[in-house]
Amino acid sequence: MTLSVGDVMELAPVIPVLVVDRVEDAVPIAQALVAGGLPALEVTLRTPAALDVIRAMAQVEGAVVGAGTVLNPAQLDAAMAAGARFIVSPGLTEPLGRAAIAAGIPFLPGTATAGDIMRGMDMGLTHFKFFPAATSGGLPALKALAAPLHTARFCPTGGITAQSAPEWLAQPFVKCVGGSWVIPKGPVDMAAIEALAREAAALPR
């Protein structure tokens, strides 16, 4: 099934942001998150294992696996070859934006200013990551940006917690949030991950 970026953002209130060091952890993590109601999984390209983790998670039934921390067209190509179904970047450059649009893959570029968002809109993009959310002025800043740029929709990421997520999700221009809190530090505990995922999946929006 082909998904738009809007479809991906509607799958659940939270997109888990995953930094996975070991390929053997990929399937258990994905299974626990999907079982808990979080099917959209952002695997960041921050570890040497990331592309193999995407390959492994993409085999998990119900998982919609994307690649995060995509910085350039070469990484975009590698992520897609590994099975990524959507792409998330910390910022927006024209080469990456044009490559993602040409590839036809759902693309969620990072933005923090009106200029960032307007550049994306000039490319035809309508959905953006607001990053880093907590240190870019938080919710007051995004409210101020969303007012004049009223057709844009956002996934705030960076410093979002289980406690702060509901306030973000209550905004009509926020379709979901990105968060790492659903994956506790340390050895993989599938029961704990699934429980945290269920709580996140139940957040109102």
List the pLDDT tens digit at each of the 205 positions of the chain.
689 999 999 999 999 999 999 999 999 999 999 999 999 999 999 999 999 999 999 999 999 999 999 999 999 999 999 999 999 999 999 999 999 999 999 999 999 999 999 999 999 999 999 999 999 999 999 999 999 999 999 999 999 999 999 999 999 999 999 999 999 989 999 999 999 999 999 999 9
Active site residues: 42, 129
- What does the pLDDT read at residue 107? 98
- What does the pLDDT read at residue 1? 67
Residue length of the chain: 205
We report the CATH number of the domain holding residue 152 as 3.20.20.70
Is the backbone peptide bond immediately before 132 cis, with ω within 30 degrees of 0?
Answer: yes
User: How far out from the chain centre does Cα 169 lie?
Assistant: 14
Tokens of 184: 């506790």
Give the residue carrying structure tokens 């990551």: 129
- What does the pLDDT read at residue 2? 84
Residue 136: give the domain boundaries: 5-202
- What does the pLDDT read at residue 182? 97
* Count of structural domains, the chain: 1
Residues of 70-99 as b/e, b for ≥16 C-beta within 10 angstroms?
A: beebebbebbbebbbbbbbbbebeeebbeb
In this structure, what DSSP letter does residue 69 have? S
Tell me how far apart the alpha carbons of residues 64 and 72 are, in angstroms, rounded to a whole number. Answer: 22
